[in-house]
């Protein structure tokens, strides 16, 4: 019994003996086992913390990006609005500058509606009888004649465009050769009763002759785009309107004498 007790006591004493670094063997073993675990745990915690910080940063960045995208959209809308106002002012100044070309009084109007496609040769403006407009009042854009009023209420008017199949205008070429310009329901007009002996070519201007009693003389209507000599002594002539009839937004109406 004495020998085992002595061995056990010796083991206990050896466990309590410090190594040269000041650590006892049992603690050294404990720290040796604990260190990797603590280090791994610390790395995991650091990783989670970094992931969280990265997530928060990305979320904040996404929020800022959304705010910036919204701001960009707002600025783009404002720019488009300013550009539209600028273009409208240019068109209105053009209409106002035409006043000197008319003998009578004119009034500016805005296009407020168009008929469906199959009736696209008609549009509506926001001026009517209260503004002095009557039936058959000539209507112009900055580019030339576009039509005449055919129906008038107190505050609005219906305009028959020159492309309407029922529309006809007294016309003439630059050399003062008279003819009749008729709508076809399509984008081009027909110029009739121009003799085969007249010299014409694509690009020639077609002006109002004033002989129809509605449109004043000398205003641009369109340009010749094609011509063929006919068998009956008259050309078959196609004319493109000077004005873009499908994009008009503002017009000028010539008020007729009471």
**Tens-place pLDDT, residues 20-42:** 544 455 555 555 555 566 566 56
The answer to whether 221 and 71 have CB atoms below 8 angstroms apart is no
pLDDT for the residue 6: 47
Where in the sequence is the domain holding 69, given as residue range(s)?
13-101
**Tens-place pLDDT, residues 173-198:** 987 899 999 999 998 999 999 999 99
Same domain, yes or no: 153 and 73: no
> How many domains does the chain contain in total?
2
pLDDT at 7 over 50: no
Same domain, yes or no: 122 and 61: no
Same domain, yes or no: 144 and 72: no
Most confident of 12-26, 112-126, 140-154: 140-154
Task: Give the span between the Cα atoms of 31 and 41, in whole angstroms.
Answer: 15
Task: Give the span between the Cα atoms of 145 and 160, in whole angstroms.
Answer: 11
* CATH value at residue 242: 2.40.10.340
Same domain, yes or no: 37 and 91: yes
Q: What pairs with residue 157 in β-bridges?
A: 125, 152
């Amino acid at each position: 019994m004495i020998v085992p007790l002595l061995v056990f006591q010796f083991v206990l004493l050896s466990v309590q003996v410090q190594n040269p670094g000041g650590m006892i063997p049992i603690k050294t073993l404990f720290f040796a086992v604990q260190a990797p675990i603590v280090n791994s745990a610390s790395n995991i915690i650091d990783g989670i913390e970094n992931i969280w910080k990265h997530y928060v940063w990305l979320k904040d960045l996404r929020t800022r990006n959304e705010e910036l995208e919204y701001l960009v959209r707002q600025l783009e809308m404002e720019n488009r609005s300013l550009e539209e106002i600028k273009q409208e002012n240019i068109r209105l100044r053009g209409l106002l500058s035409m006043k000197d070309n008319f003998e009578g009084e004119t009034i500016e109007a805005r296009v407020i509606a168009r008929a469906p496609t199959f009736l696209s040769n008609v549009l509506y403006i926001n001026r009517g009888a209260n503004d002095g407009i009557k039936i058959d009042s000539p209507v112009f854009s900055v580019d030339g004649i576009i039509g005449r009023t055919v129906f008038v209420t107190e505050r609005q008017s219906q305009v028959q465009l020159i492309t309407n199949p029922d529309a006809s205008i007294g016309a003439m070429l630059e050399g003062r050769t008279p003819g009749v310009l008729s709508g076809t329901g399509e984008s081009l007009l027909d110029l009739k009763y121009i003799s085969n002996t007249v010299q014409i070519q694509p690009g020639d201007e077609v002006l109002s002759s004033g002989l129809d009693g509605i449109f004043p003389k000398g205003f641009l209507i369109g340009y010749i785009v094609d011509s063929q000599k006919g068998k009956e002594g008259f050309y078959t002539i196609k004319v493109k309107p000077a004005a873009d009839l499908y994009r008009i937004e503002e017009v000028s109406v010539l008020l007729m004498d009471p």
